[in-house]
Amino acid sequence: MADLFPVLGFDIGGTKIAVSLLLSDGSLIASSRVSNHNRAPEDVLPEIVAAAKKLLADTGYSQDSLKAVGICAPSPFDFEKGVILNPVNMPEWRNVPIREYLADALHTRAFFDNDANASVLAEWLFGAGVGAKNMLYIALSTGIGSGIIANEHLVRGETCDAGEVGHMILEPDGPLCQCGLRGCWESLCGGRAIARRLQKELAEYPDCRIMQLAGTPGKIDMKILAAAVREDDPMACAVWDEMMERDARAIGMLINIFNPQVIALGTIAIECESIFMPLLHERIRKYAWKKTASVCTVTPGKLGHKLGEISGGAIALYGLYENGEWELPR
């Protein structure tokens, strides 16, 4: 095995920035967090550099041994320039050249990507997709998005918008999506969309099980829905069933389009595995060819709660791999 070396990952979020130190075999050595709630980048950036240097010092790695850093950045950003543009939930961050800043401050190379791409890289390098040539990671959370690996490379597309699977239109007459289209997969099956729909529709039914579990309409979310499904509540099961059918339809289409060896699924597939995965497997058969489905393992992601901490480092390692300086784990 090649010599192990450290890389750093920065996961930039609206409330916090996670800084993680990873070895090139994917093992997480240490991590820390810096608050980013309503703070200006001029204040936060020096703090994340200090946190990164402290992680290296505390774990006995010299700054010279650091081969690269990876930045998991919120949209929108300029990929070519490595600049965070104007994320909605980070009002003080405007046109921040974070890639150059961190490269200079830590005297190393810095690589940059979005959340969904970071997730597929982490699961591909160290999780459910190790050894696969073609794979997808699909985040099934408040929103729906994906990262795509084809022939051992990340697919970014012409404008870095590849992988926006949540905006495949499943029902042309469906609800208006926040992207401006109608009936997108995310507007039907995203956690935010389902919660909002139930909050509105069930407000007049205080005696239904979902409302009993939630207490008030505003508290209805995917966790409450799943709890009612586990109790076999008929109303909850009908909503779940409809969601599963659409999820299977979308994932089946993706199996036929990309012919992947692995599709790793996030959040809901992990948190609700027993009521989600068997139904999905059963229904995918309707929407994908036997040939493509039989070679594709559809599974919950394997990195679980560590995904966020590993994904920044995975961006760094993938950058080195694309430069021919690091080989894929097998």
Could you list the residues that contact Zn ion (CB under 5 A)? 167, 177, 179, 181, 184
Pull the structure tokens for residue 271: 């948190």
Q: Which CB atom, from 67 or from 167, has the smaller least distance to Zn ion?
A: 167
With tokens 């090649």, the residue in question is 2
> What is the distance of C-alpha 153 from the center of its chain?
17
Asked, as a colleague might, if the bond just before 76 is cis with ω within 30 of 0, I would say yes
d(CA 169, CA 176): 11
Cβ at position 276, least distance to Zn ion in Å:
22
End-to-end CA distance of the chain: give it in Å, rounded.
10
Question: Which whole-number Å values give the CA distances from 267 to 9, 87, 137, 303, 316, in the listed order?
Answer: 21, 23, 11, 11, 24
**Based on CB atoms, which residue is closest to Zn ion, 40 or 257?**
257
Nearer to Zn ion, 12 or 193 (CB): 193
With residues binned 3-state (H G I as helix, E B as strand, rest as coil), the percentages for the chain, rounded to 5, are 45, 20, 35
* Closer to Zn ion by Cβ: residue 14 or 183: 183
**128 and 301 in contact (C-beta within 8 Å)?**
yes
Name the minimum Å distance from CB 229 to Zn ion. 25
- Closest CB to Zn ion among 29 and 181? 181
Residue type for 11, please? D
